[in-house]
Structure 1
């Protein structure tokens, strides 16, 4: 009898219609259901999901925390698959996603991390003209070998989970594959975009998000081992500190993160914390902006709201 090879983990923190569609997309796969399992992790009760679980042999796990780390940890602990596929509650899988993942990991014993491209969609499943891509963008595009996931390290992370899984894969001795195949739908919520808020509120929102990112990255940096993962993490940390210093200036908070010339030179020497060379020219633009008086930065940030 075939054994379960893939575990799909779908966390949800509040009742919503998107999660039902996400679950259905994980069930409506070309790969035989014998080869994978679906674990839905909730911090609330949902009779519709319970009904779907009874009909489709879905595992429903209740974790009474909104934070994602405990949800992932508990799901991984009970998972039976060798490979973990993540699916955010508002994203969708292409029907052939799991069959592709199954074949790639089955045929390559050294593969530990696979990242696929995604199609951006709106709340009505209509395509959106967005094309961002990076090796660690979007958890729903990430598949990872379970045995390289360190639960203790994961428990220390509170944001940037996609980046975390990419970095620990770099730390492993395994192979990483970045395929150009589109296998995931990424839902772009325009209604919750930070660019819709204005002025001070926009700056405050960005600051709160960046501070959360920074805390997680500094935790990661403390346990990362390989040169590449540490270079990328340090580069990302410096980038966030530059952004946060500008935001603190704009908000006149009086707080600043210490950065010396070595940090700046290191940052400029690395193509990008996202490992995307197309981002590199923006570093020089950002460093010019960083050196400008606050009044000019305010004009720049206000202008960015309009484009």
Structure 2
């Protein structure tokens, strides 16, 4: 029987929080959904209440593809194993999809929680999100039907392509781009955002904080906390994957230059965190200029920046 929502949860080598994620879906006020967990782990006590797909591939794109292939819902929502949904999220998403006919991409705001699930109210400009992410938050809903380059840049400043646990899409968005999805290694959120730009339909940004974004020591998107060297290594690995993913997305969009700013950002961040000097033809913008300047600074200055980021990573 077809469901309204399919919730795809991915977990790889980490089961510490996954039951909290699952329970946040089971507690939803709207019950017309299915939960699909794609994992390489044996997690007891779940097989009777959700679909479980065992997959050893470490890359997110293949995991999401496996979950999507088994999905029955018309609206696909995503949930990282360490995040949670607010109890009324699906009910609100359903209402908005019904009210704004033709919505294909939805992104809600998020609240930040700590390891124990307590909300964190961080006063300074760092939330342990990746150092390239904007921290601007939305105060009012935005609905876009016709996207242009200027609108896309504005949406990205509003984090429209950040945090897959805040994203729901119509099934057609993934159906149209499956062959590219399977090549994505890390930045599923950006892939989903750009995939929706290929299609006719509405993009909806919701200011409601319907997702709980967990900050903890095992967060892959924010770097290892096991010392500065491990921090650099983990983030350079992430940026390398994100750079490869951005080229896949550019190919998907027919080599459209709207992804060039992302490519430049990941390219420069990889150079900064890896300590390597890789040459390339860069298209600099106001947002990437600071990374370019930092990338050509002497080694000790780059180390000061990295240590500063690492110390903030440890602060909360």
TM-score range, shorter chain: 0.7 to 0.9
Partner residue, 1:178: 205
1:191-224 residue CA offsets vs partner (Å, 9 max, x unmatched) = 5553745444433332222111111111111111
Evaluate the alpha carbon distance shift between residue 293 and residue 135 of structure 1 in structure 2; reply closer, same or farther with a 3 A threshold: same
Partner residue, 2:166: 141
Partner residue, 1:71: 63
Partner residue, 1:272: none
Q: 60, 64, 82: which one pairs with 1:90?
A: 82
The CA distance in 1 between the partners of 2:227 and 2:14, in whole Å, is: 29
The CA distance in 1 between the partners of 2:81 and 2:46, in whole Å, is: 12
Question: Does the residue aligned with 1:39 lie in a helix, a strand or coil?
Answer: strand
Evaluate the alpha carbon distance shift between residue 77 and residue 195 of structure 1 in structure 2; reply closer, same or farther with a 3 A threshold: closer
The CA distance in 2 between the partners of 1:302 and 1:75, in whole Å, is: 38
Of structures 1 and 2, the one with the larger relative CO (CA 8 A, separation 6+) is 2
Q: Is the 8 A contact 1:69 1:155 kept in 2?
A: yes
Asked whether 1:9 is paired with 2:8, we answer yes
Question: Does the residue aligned with 1:48 lie in a helix, a strand or coil?
Answer: coil
Question: Does the residue aligned with 1:267 lie in a helix, a strand or coil?
Answer: coil
The CA distance in 2 between the partners of 1:101 and 1:91, in whole Å, is: 17
TM-score normalised to structure 1 length: 0.80
Partner residue, 1:45: 42
The CA distance in 1 between the partners of 2:186 and 2:103, in whole Å, is: 25
Question: Does the residue aligned with 1:71 lie in a helix, a strand or coil?
Answer: helix
The alpha carbon displacement at 1:17 in A equals 4.2
The CA distance in 2 between the partners of 1:120 and 1:101, in whole Å, is: 20
Evaluate the alpha carbon distance shift between residue 151 and residue 303 of structure 1 in structure 2; reply closer, same or farther with a 3 A threshold: closer
The CA distance in 2 between the partners of 1:23 and 1:100, in whole Å, is: 18
The alpha carbon displacement at 1:292 in A equals 2.9
1:177-199 residue CA offsets vs partner (Å, 9 max, x unmatched) = 11101101011114555374544
Greater Cα radius of gyration, structure 1 or 2: 1
Asked whether 1:257 is paired with 2:273, we answer no
- 5+ unaligned residues in a row in structure 2: which ranges? 128-134, 138-158
Written as runs of structure 1 = structure 2, the 5 A alignment for 1:96-111 is 96-111=88-103
TM-score normalised to structure 2 length: 0.78
Question: Does the residue aligned with 2:181 lie in a helix, a strand or coil?
Answer: helix
The alpha carbon displacement at 1:39 in A equals 1.5
Question: Does the residue aligned with 2:80 lie in a helix, a strand or coil?
Answer: coil
Partner residue, 1:267: 284
Partner residue, 2:233: 204
Asked whether 1:162 is paired with 2:189, we answer yes
Q: Is the 8 A contact 2:231 2:310 kept in 1?
A: no
Partner residue, 1:275: none
